[in-house]
A and B are shown apart, each in its own frame.
Chain A
Amino acid sequence: MIASTGPGLMTFITVFVLAAFVGYEVVSKVPSILHTPLMSGSNAIHGIILVGTMIVLGQAHGTAQLTLGFLAVVLATLNVVGGFVVTDRMLHMFRAKPTDRKAPAADAGASSGSGAKPDGGNAGGSGAAS
């Protein structure tokens, strides 16, 4: 059945198994401080479903398919942009070096959104005072 109905199926299964090993090996040693960013980063990667949703919506016809496909593209886009932006914000926090404390603090306050702004400014101020 496999050979007659799905010429690519065996190849896909091979790819699947190999990818499983790669995924397992590539994160085999992660320090605990990076567990959260890694979870968030891999969360963004499965946003690749966006490509699948685009193909499905591109070929959709009829209200049901169009509606479902449209919804799927919206959800997948949320996954992609939300995933990468959240991860980048988390990792941004790791960049500041103790030696050049003041500049990155101002930078963090400016670029990580208004939610972090007051605190970021505060940190810059006290950093300068100490």
Chain B
Amino acid sequence: MSRATATDLVYLVAIVGFILALKGLSSPKRARLGNLVGAAGMLVAVAWTFSLPQVYSHTRNLLLIIVAIVIGAVIGVPAARLVKMTAMPQMVAIFNGVGGGAAALVSLTEFISVPGKSLAIYKICEILFGVLVGSVSLAGSTIAFAKLQELMTGRPITYPAQQPINAAIGLAIVALLVVTVVTASTTVLVIVLVLSLALGAIFVLPIGGADTPVLISLLNAFTGLAVAASGFTLDSTLLIVAGTLVGASGTLLTRMMSQAMGRSLANILFSAFGSVVTATGEGPDASGRSVRAGTADDIGVLLAYARKVAIVPGYGLAVAQAQHTARELADALSARGVEVYYAIHPVAGRMPGHMNVLLAEANVPYDQLEEMDDANQDMATTDVALVVGANDTVNPAAKNTPGSPIYGMPIIHADQATNIVFLKRSMRPGFAGIDNELLYDPKTTMLFGDAKDSLSKLVSAVKAA
């Protein structure tokens, strides 16, 4: 068997591993195994690549490869292991961005390594696609990271003549792409790269923090396509298949995520959601409505003598690292015979499924976790809905106020419970930047403060009641 055939076979094994990984990640039972199969496929492919003459024939280059991999691993492993669970979304964003950057660099390097105009036109097109999409993904993911890490504001950023400026940059890129194809000029390609980075950034700036997860998923698909383009450039079936798998599955996943938020992808990407509505959400007290603030003791009694309590967790719970305290409260209530369940909105937290991950970390029993549809059926017979650091996911404006930016988004019907308790830091609106009627509902009691503190106070109050 020739080395080329052996290489193809080994890479085929890796490809099968990636497909099984995606398949496994689609079911709760086999998800972890799926990820390990994917990692094994990756390991096999990378290890075999060291046996290729292109990689080992120049000793200096081989050493550089090894040093680079060690540097990447030394930075990447601790970063991924030490990051808090709440910071996972931005970690996914940045790891996605660097992948896009790598794909763009592969295309760029391949371009400058071929002298003059000896590249076929379709090769130049593949390279341009890799550079363009990879750079957009890198810049976009970096901005998304900065927004989620709160290095910059999570609000949509708009500026005068935004659309014309974006269109001008887009047109400039298209023009330069044509120029590159005709002249095969490296300088022009570098300009394309810089403009693509700018395009990625301005594409993401107007997208609000709440929508960033959908955006990351989309950029993930972009990186997949950039990798596939690099595969075409390098004549590598492995890169084409793996990149395309991610491109296709990522596109579908992006659609599923935006569906879970009840909005179209186009609406998320181009509507600069929240920038206008923030104005109406600024002064909730100016309208003269009052809210009822309760004490932990009062609410503790309310909970302790309830028959059925729904805990509705949101990002505030995640930020305060309060998932363990929430479970303590649930345990204390269960010990008194109160039926407790968690009502999980699909996009609670900052990413779909984020809340399940956090609650699983606190070892909350599976049977207490209820998906939104089940939870909503139980809500009418629930005595107390305890909303912990959630806001937009229980906002009745989603079903009552046509014209509200979240109108049509499926919500947890906390308003149907007999009593509603909000644990919130302040009256500030949630991620979407819009006011929540439910806070002023006569059935609602507020307990202001950090979610974790408030929950610990409630645990003591319930035990004392």
| Interface residues on chain A, size class | 35 or more
**1/0 contact trace for B41-72 toward A, CB 8 Å?**
01001100110101111100110110111011
Given that A19-B248, A42-B246 are known contacts, is A57 also in contact with B61, CB under 8 Å in the complex?
Answer: yes
Q: Given B32, B110, B363, which contacts A104 in the complex, CB threshold below 8 Å?
A: B363
* Number of chain B interface residues as a range: 35 or more
| Cα separation A4 to B346 with both chains bound (whole Å) | 52
What string of 1s and 0s marks CB contacts (under 8 Å) between A97-130 and chain B? 0100100110010001111100110110011001
Q: In the complex, which residues of chain A have a beta carbon less than 8 angstroms from the beta carbon of B79?
A: 82
A78 touches B109 (CB 8 A): no
A119 to B328, CA, bound (A): 12
A34 to B256 Cα, complex, angstroms: 11
B35 contacts A35, CB within 8 Å? no
Q: Which of A37, A42, A68, A90 has a CB less than 8 Å from the CB of B245? A: A42
Contacts of A37 in B (CB 8 A): 25, 31, 35, 353, 357
Q: Is B88 part of the contact surface with A, judged by Cβ < 8 Å?
A: yes
- Say how far A30's CB is from chain B's closest CB, in angstroms: 5
Question: Contact between A114 and B82 (Cβ–Cβ < 8 Å)?
Answer: yes
Most chain A CB neighbours (cut-off 10 Å) among B38, B57, B102, B352: B102
- In the bound complex, CA of A40 to CA of B75 (Å): 18
Q: Is A53 within 8 A of B32, CB to CB?
A: no
Please tell me if the beta carbons of A55 and B250 are within 8 angstroms of each other in the complex: no
> A29: shortest Cβ distance to chain B, in Å?
6
Stretch at the interface among B217-225, B382-390, B401-409: B217-225
A:71-89 near B, CB below 8 Å: 71-89
Taking CB atoms, residues of chain B closer than 8 Å to A83 are 92, 95, 99
Known: A6-B120, A126-B327. A19 touches B71 (CB 8 A): no
Known A60-B109, A75-B99, A94-B31: A34·B65 in contact at CB below 8 Å: no
Contact B360 A115 (CB under 8 A): no
CB distance from B15 to the nearest CB of A (A): 9
> Which residues of B lie under 8 Å from residue A104 when comparing CB positions?
363
Q: Which of A38, A87, A101, A122 has the most chain B CB atoms closer than 10 A to its own CB?
A: A38
> In the complex, what residues of A have CB within 8 A of residue B94's CB?
82
Of A47, A87, A94, the contact of B28 (CB 8 Å cutoff): A94
**CB proximity of B340 to chain A, nearest CB, Å:** 12
**A residues less than 8 Å from B346 (CB atoms):** 32, 35
Cβ-neighbour of A77 out of B71, B109, B228 (below 8 A)? B71
Across the interface, do A35 and B109 meet the contact criterion of CB distance under 8 Å? no
Cβ of A63 to closest chain B Cβ, rounded Å: 11
Could you tell me the distance between the alpha carbons of A81 and B103 in the complex, rounded to whole angstroms?
Answer: 16
Asked whether, in the complex, the Cβ of A75 is within 8 Å of the Cβ of B101, the reply is yes
Tell me if B102 and A76 are in contact (CB < 8 A). yes
Contact across chains for B109 and A55 when beta carbons are under 8 A apart: no
Cα distance A98–B367 when bound, in Å?
9
- What residue of chain A has the Cβ atom nearest to residue B95's Cβ? A82
**What's the minimum C-beta distance from B64 to chain A, rounded to whole angstroms?**
5
Q: Is the CB of B122 within 8 A of A5?
A: yes
Most A CB contacts (10 A, CB to CB) among B26, B62, B98, B352 go to B98
Task: Please state if A49 and B357 are interface contacts (CB–CB under 8 Å).
Answer: no
B247 touches A108 (CB 8 A): no
How close is A120's CB to chain B, nearest CB, in angstroms?
A: 8
Residues of B within 8 A of A81 (CB): 72-73, 76-77, 80
* CB-based contact B321/A119 at 8 Å: yes
* B113 interface residue per 8 A CB criterion: yes
The 8 A-B pairs of least Cβ separation, nearest first, read A77-B72, A23-B248, A73-B68, A98-B365, A35-B352, A79-B99, A85-B80, A72-B105
Q: List 30 A-B contacts (CB under 8 A).
A: A2-B122, A6-B122, A19-B244, A20-B247, A23-B244, A26-B249, A27-B23, A37-B357, A42-B25, A42-B220, A42-B249, A43-B96, A44-B35, A44-B38, A45-B22, A45-B224, A45-B246, A46-B227, A46-B242, A53-B106, A65-B113, A68-B112, A74-B69, A75-B99, A79-B98, A79-B99, A80-B46, A112-B81, A116-B361, A126-B331
A residues adjacent to B (C-beta < 8 A): 1-2, 5-6, 8-9, 12, 15-16, 19-24, 26-61, 64-66, 68-96, 98, 101, 104-105, 108, 112-116, 119-120, 122-123, 126-127, 130
Q: A24-B251, A31-B27, A91-B32 are in contact. List 9 more A-B contacts (CB 8 A).
A: A23-B252, A36-B357, A51-B49, A74-B71, A75-B72, A81-B76, A85-B80, A93-B85, A101-B363
